[in-house]
Amino acid sequence: MWDRFPVIKAELAAFEDYLKSRLSSRIEFLDIASKGVVLSGGKRLRPAFTIIAALHGDYNRERVFPAAAAVEILHAATLIHDDIIDNAKTRRGQMTLSEKHNINLAVYTGDYLFAKSLRLLVDTGLKPEKLNVLARTISIICECEIDQYIGKYDIGTVKNYLKRIIGKTGMLFSASLILGAKTANLSDDVARLFGRFGNSFGAAFQIRDDLLDILSDQKTEGKPVLNDLKEGIATLPIIISASKNPELREMVNDFFDGNGGDINQLIQAVISSGGIKDSEKLKNRYVQKCKSYIEQMPKTPYTDALNEIVDWL
Amino acid sequence: MWDRFPVIKAELAAFEDYLKSRLSSRIEFLDIASKGVVLSGGKRLRPAFTIIAALHGDYNRERVFPAAAAVEILHAATLIHDDIIDNAKTRRGQMTLSEKHNINLAVYTGDYLFAKSLRLLVDTGLKPEKLNVLARTISIICECEIDQYIGKYDIGTVKNYLKRIIGKTGMLFSASLILGAKTANLSDDVARLFGRFGNSFGAAFQIRDDLLDILSDQKTEGKPVLNDLKEGIATLPIIISASKNPELREMVNDFFDGNGGDINQLIQAVISSGGIKDSEKLKNRYVQKCKSYIEQMPKTPYTDALNEIVDWL
């Protein structure tokens, strides 16, 4: 993804070493588990955003890397706790911590990574009120996760869905960009612009995930098809189709009630009611929003890297 | 406990209102659950420590209350996650969150309270490097909890036990005092003294808890007798007795291996090998340490309140 941006590529490679160096613990289990989860791949989108935002101002590795690591480690912590709640067996093709060990160790490992993230945040040297970005983000992620959990087995509305995904996914992208901007002394206006870009990117990213959930091949993506639905969560294509097609709504509710149903028939019904197409449209609308935020940003040799990431969606 | 200290009593009463006001969430479940857990009683020892330490310097409610609330809410978060791990059914005579709802909601409610604690910490206006106190404390608590969890069904040594309880319990008492001292601009030396007092207090507090676990009446304390042992955790009286009495060690190991055994016989054996008496001695040694730290502190009308709390042990 970074072939056109050798500086970003070099910074991300150096960041990877930094991240590794900050993950050691005197407790062997935590040392192995933390490194296992954080270093097991992942696209490092959030650190890339932190670095790119910071490259728009006074770039200083000693402030940027702790911020990028804080965000990436916080992301790993939320994945660990999410995997408990979602009963997820695998992630990135590997067994999840809660599956490999047990829920209890997964709870504490997540907590430990939260604390680690907080300590890294302090290392950025940012003023306390700027640190609040991440604290607020965690609050909102938890609120949205709880909202989703309580709303399980309820199809819900597109409006509530969008609010939830921006909280659940957009906020952390947004925080990684804002923190990058703040470490580089960019103005509040520019930081806010980066933040809005992050929220829209997160929405598009989550809708893409929802589309993969219904369209992906289990073998190549490492995630079972319609996994979310099996866990009682209605994804965007389902919500849209159900709002248009009362029969489909009944099928989904039957599915939620545990009366089973034919998954392939359900997928066909979602396609024929336009649930996939409309979801793609909505995703594209967020992609366009991202592009328009990029247009408004101060131009640097790195700004276009944001377009590259958006196009990857 | 505060009859001799009307100022502390008044501050704690005002703090209670402040704490309540800071626990609201727009998600109804979180609002009820957070308030339920944090406001369901508890002795408010940690906020009392924060307030007392701060009363030794430039006392300012606007900085002290957020610090005290951060510590108390962090304490609640750790209790929620601990109750998941310990399979605890009740706490303070009420059903635990993980029992009343389920583990999943308990995981997120704990996370939410972690984030809340962090946001309050930012409100203290302390410099970032001072905020690190709490981040380090969470790291160490997690390390010690994992260490305890992995060491389950293993009697262990007194040395390792002491290291663990100071990390698990002492560190948060210590942090509450240090944060109080820092909000009141006390010197690093005085803050360190308060910190050491907190660690020793925590050790004595935890040994007291261990003694209650073996001696308490289930009905009055709301906790089942030898609950820790049933969960595979050897308390101090057990560790000491097992090191002296090989037969008792075998009894405990049999118990851990799931071969059952007579609880009353076990308790009698602990008493006759001096496990209770020696634990009380060790507790008193930490109480004496606390008193000697109090002696070294700058004298104020509030210093003696620390003696009062220590005597309550």
**Higher-scoring residue by pLDDT: B96, B8:** B8
Question: Beta-carbon neighbour count of residue A36 at 10 Å?
Answer: 16
User: Which A residues, 133 through 162, put their C-beta within 8 Å of a C-beta on chain B?
Assistant: 134-136, 138-139, 142-143, 145-147, 149-150
**pLDDT at residue B87 greater than cutoff 80:** no
Q: pLDDT (tens digit, 9 = 90+) per residue, B232-289?
A: 889 999 999 999 999 999 999 988 888 877 888 888 999 999 999 999 999 999 999 9
Structure tokens at A193: 């612009």
B118 interface with A at CB cutoff 8 Å: yes
The pLDDT value recorded for residue A104 is 84
Residues of A in contact with B150 (CB under 8 A): 29
Distance of alpha carbon B258 from the chain centroid: 29
User: Which A residues, 9 through 28, put their C-beta within 8 Å of a C-beta on chain B?
Assistant: 25-27
The pLDDT value recorded for residue A188 is 95
Q: pLDDT (tens digit, 9 = 90+) per residue, A43-56?
A: 899 999 999 999 99
Residues of B in contact with A131 (CB under 8 A): 122, 128, 131
The pLDDT value recorded for residue A311 is 93
**A and B: number of Cβ contacts within 8 A:** 130
Angstrom distance (rounded) from CA A72 to CA A204: 19
C-beta atoms of A146 and B118 within 8 A: no
Give me chain A's average pLDDT, please.
Answer: 91
- What residue of B is the nearest CA neighbor of A28? B147
3-state helix, strand, coil in chain B (%, to 5): 75, 0, 25
Answer for the pair A181, A60: CB distance below 8 angstroms, yes or no: no
Place of tokens 């509030």: B302
* Predicted ipTM beyond 0.85: yes
* Least confident stretch, A36-40, A67-71, A129-133, B155-159: A129-133
Ordered by where they begin, the domains of chain B are 8-302 (1.10.600.10)
A112 interface with B at CB cutoff 8 Å: yes
C-beta atoms of B132 and A119 within 8 A: yes
**Nearest-CA distance from A33 to chain B in Å?**
11
Q: From residue B99, give the alpha-carbon distance in Å to each of A81, A278, B102.
A: 18, 41, 6
**pLDDT at residue A231 greater than cutoff 90:** no
A31 interface with B at CB cutoff 8 Å: no
**pTM to 2 decimals?**
0.90
Q: pLDDT (tens digit, 9 = 90+) per residue, A233-251?
A: 899 999 999 999 999 999 9
Parallel, antiparallel or unpaired: strands B94-95 and B90-91? antiparallel
**pLDDT at residue A225 greater than cutoff 70:** no
Q: Give every CB contact of residue B248 below 8 A, 6+ residues apart in sequence.
A: B241, B242, B266, B269, B270, B273
Percent of chain B exceeding pLDDT 90 equals 66
B104 interface with A at CB cutoff 8 Å: yes
The pLDDT value recorded for residue B277 is 96
A118 interface with B at CB cutoff 8 Å: yes
**pLDDT at residue B140 greater than cutoff 80:** yes
- What residue of A is the nearest CA neighbor of B77? A111
**pLDDT at residue B4 greater than cutoff 80:** yes
Gyration radius of chain B over CA positions: 20
Percent of chain A exceeding pLDDT 70 equals 97
For an interface test with B, the pick among A81, A101, A108 (most B C-beta atoms closer than 10 Å) comes out as A108
Structure tokens at A247: 């029969």
